[in-house]
Structure 1
Amino acid sequence: LSLLVKQKRLAKTAPVPCIVRDAASEILAEDDSLAENMQRIALHPLDQFRAFLALREKGQGDEAIAAAFFVTPQIVKQRLKLASVAPALLEVYADDGMTLEQLMAFTVNPGHARQLQVWDAVKNSWNKEPYAIRRMLTETSVRASDRRAVFVGIDAYEAAGGVVLRDLFQGDDGGWFEDPALLDRLVTEKLQAGAEALASEGWKWIELATDLPYGYSHGLRRLAGDPAPMSDQESASHAELLAEYRALEEEYSGQDECPEEVDARLGQLEMAIEALEQRPLIFDPAEVARAGVFVTLDRDGSLAVDRGYVRPEDEPREETAVQDVDGADAMGQERDVGGSGWQAFVSSGGRTVINSCGQPISADLAEDEEDGGLKPLPERLVMELTAHRTLALREAIGRSPDVALTLLLLKLVTDTFRTSSASGNCLEASVRHVYMTAQAADLKDSVVAKLVDERHAAWEADLPLGDDTALWDYLTVLDQGSRLALLAHCLSFGVNALHEKVNPYGAVISAGGLTRRMAHADLVAHAVDLDMVEAGWEPTVNGYLNRVPKARILEAVRDAKGEGTAQLLDHLKKGEMATEAERLLKGSGWLPEVLRRADLVALDGEEIAEGQGEDAVQPEEVDLPAFLTVDLPGSVASMMAAE
């Protein structure tokens, strides 16, 4: 009114109709104001939103607001949904900088920063239609109709803290799941739960994957099973459904069209009959024990289970392929190969191994710490440790021409005289330099790395590498000792004693191939008398101790320094324990199983085995941790240790 008077559009003395109402009345002043404006001239949607919001803040519900102003509750919800739009965009709309449809599109994502980012991107673009805005706001989310979302379900997703984006202004097909990472975790957990239920059937392995690649079963033998017979109840139900189906077919066979309800019933009967006739297969228990199952998502978001596949390495066969230095068979997949600590992913004690992306699903490190048991080393750590071992083998073979020649002959004879195409030799005789994809930060500065580099530089300086004719002449006149030394050096770069991830689909290397590789590596290590302690490897915090459970740290200290010293560390936190263990293990000669020689095993009454520490067989004298000896004279510390 003041503005109208100022603009001289209303006289100061003009009468203004007012409503006088009791202060205790249930009708709010905002109700009267909003009704007056809406009944004379329709309010601007933004003003309507602000009025509805004021009523909501005073405690009125959507139904009450809708009834008071003769609109549907959906209209009220839509207007109130505008509260999720950034205030800056509301101002743009108020100044006619965007249409109502564009403004409504922004309500699909409540993030104001993202809304402003999208508006900045489209405001000067030719393509700023509401559907384009809506697509940009939901491009990092997952449609509720996606099979992953259908598999998990909206209720489970929201119960886990997920947010579902909804569009109240048009059909959104169930909305969008805002957190793809959370959704993927829930999918994996639900797939794992389904796999654990299947494990009771006795399968050797179960492979989980949201998507299985084309040809995932290539190279695997499919089991032939027999359909399970129907139970008496199932047979009776099948007969009843079939009789009803045939009766309806016969009744309406002479008509051009069936009534809709009859057609719908026939469809239901067909589905029920088909479900009963699709019998699960029964397999030979002996075959089940060596076979596995693929578990994935079907197109409609349901659980898809494909049972009965046998991998080549699990087929029954005579285990005579590779013998280790003690004559023990190294082909057995369930054996700890060569004492290296590596073991193929197979069941132990009849327990089904559940894999995801080829890797076993196991408890996290926190659970490992709680139960105190010795868990397998993390695969990444095994890969780094075997990189140390591979480089040490290369250095040793490079100075052992006789062993290099034997190794080369082993490879050539195997390739020439064996009809099997199985891979897994520890020598790539091309010779192809095998790159170590997983390696510790200190590998390049290790003792053996420097020795290999120095030897390589010396040969490189002597060889006429730019001219093949000159190189031929140079090699021809070399004495036999130098030729063998050069052969050994070049051959050493093909040594591959690396642990790698086993590919469940047979690519790269199989479990059996990895078993053979590690067994060959043990043969070579024995031949060159490999000693990883002399090669310079020591257990450090970053290289080993901080990456294994506390039980593994205590085991190392116990092996090297005795039970008494290990007990003094038992109460420490993980970081403190690792630091103390590094100090105690320094110079002890202790090695993890992965780096120990297979042929050096401590027997009763014999000398200590390689890698078990220099002090393990001595009369126990407790080596005190640093926190117990700080600022103490040496005699006092010795007395405490003796006690």
Structure 2
Amino acid sequence: MVASNSTAKTPRSKKSAAKTAQTTEQKLVQLLADTPVQIFPFSRLTRSELNTRIIAHTEGEVEEMANSIEAVGILQNLIGVDQPDGTIGIVGGEGRRRGTGILVLRGVVDADTPFVPVKILPVELAVAASMIENGRRKNMHPAEQIIGFRTLQQDGKTPSQIGALMGFHPRHVQRCLKLANLAPALLDALARDELELEQCEALTLADSHERQMQVWEDAKAQWNGRAPVAHTLRKMATDDKMPISHPMFVFVGEDAYTAAGGELTADLFSDKDSTFVDAALVRSLLDGKLTVLAARLKQEQGWGWAEFRMTELRGHGEDKEQYRFAMPQGVLTDDEQQRVRELEDAMDGCAAYEDEYELQQTIDDIYCEATYREATPEFRAAHGIWVSWDGNDFQVQPGIRRLTEEDRHQEEEARQARENASNVITYTTPEIPADAYPATLVKAMSAERTLAVQAELAGRPDVSVALLTWTLCMNMFQRPNYGHRQQPLKASVTSSQHFLSTLAPSGEAGKALMSLKAQREAIQATLPENWDQDFAWLLTWSAEKVNALLGFCAAHGINGLQERLYNRTDASELDNLEAALDFDLRNWWQPDAENYFGKLKITQIGRAYEDAGMADRAGEVVKLKRRDAAQAAAKDLNAVGWVPDWMVRSAPAEQAEEATETVTETTDHAA
């Protein structure tokens, strides 16, 4: 069975791991102490892939190292390994090597003159020494530790051996190695701090690099370019999988799944150590297993035919046109009737639901046995069974009769006879003409008709716009007739004005809401009588009037609410729209003592004064009581048209630079 069902070893305590790590480091330090220093020229030193530092020193840091080396020399030796081409690969001290290279370029040091102190270690200890050396000098980034563990694994070391060497629990090593299998682009993003560890952990549940990148890009698209949370990534990475606890997988069995080439994907980062499998493969195996089961039941029980489908056979719709339930009614013997009465009496005295359910199952089994007893061999040979999946287990519907054309003809004659006997008048033409034809044919032809109308409408933008406008109006304006209307275009816009006004500080009296209400009343007055019956009247309107009506409806679908999730507020989705509108919030709202400043801390009120260029006044206001400070801010800051910067769209880069230059020029002039 998979690892999640095996007995786990007792986790090593943090104190134990720390002690082992300290011992490992002490051994390597002692080895380095016993290794003699050799002096090499810069020309023999190269960067080594065994160096676990993947986040390089900045150019500024390397320049500082070069200046330090020029002033006082190299105070700490480098660590290297012999390479097949005769060079020395540096696994610890790459920054010092690069700093020396700058001195060579400056002409301070000759590239072929022995100058750089290096201690040579065996290759098998190079990665461990590099990780400890880099970790002591500058805390290693998680991405560097992941790459280091992967390198040790590629050298043939097991997770237990890596853990023993580096002082980590094997579980931690296994997790790092799982992360090491991420797509290179994702590991690079982790190293640049564009991804968090939790996000990477979720992406490991995708089976391939291509799938990982697809999940990441799709999730970002759903989040409008922002980094999605780990929960979203985990859900998307497993949308083509199912947990091994799923009834389908339990029914199929692990042996059959692995024999078919299926792989188990363990979530090493879950506290429950959950494991997932390929859902499509499991469903395929389920189809095969139930098909075999249906054939076996047909053979063993003597049915004429057997079919399997994921869904059960129903007594209506398309199933009713092809099948009939024909299983005979079961007849209980005297002993069975007495047994059922005893079980029903026992159910009345049950205190627990589980006991009642078990007794009911026994009763159902008695009736089922009686029903099957009535199905004679001749009956079974003329009928079949239907096998399906009910979500938790397979189910069998026995005694199914397939309808023939003769059966349908006989049923129609019987229906006519019943109606004639009851003096029922039958109209040859149904109220809906399509009802006279098979439902499958009507559905197929309606699909054909829909495609043809779409193609025609695609070339008629005037009708498309009119139809869209009319459809949106149905939700926007009070309608003269409230019956059902045929609306072929499935589009809608929902006005959230009432909800927004309950949140907005200005409430029902806000300038924006009052303007929208006035526009609604004016437009409503222009709509023709019975405008909701069809949209043909819009084709007589000018394009300008139609666009005005469409624009009014579309505006009500705008939603710019910002929520705070996981202590982070979503960015506003209104910036681009405001830029297109050349929108200025000051034209619609200004903060006052009650709706804004009264909700701020006194320091935030002072900062608002500073943002408005009134730093001197800020010093006076912050000494007031908060209520007085709020009233003062409403008076002073509204006089200069100030609004909070986080409620205004960011200026384009060009405008920001111009504003900075203007401030600089003003300051220089004043000086």
TM-score per shorter chain, which class? Answer: 0.3 to 0.5
- TM-score normalised by length of structure 1: 0.39
Task: Name the structure with the higher helix share.
Answer: 2
- TM-score normalised by length of structure 2: 0.37
Higher relative contact order (CA 8 A, sep 6+): 1
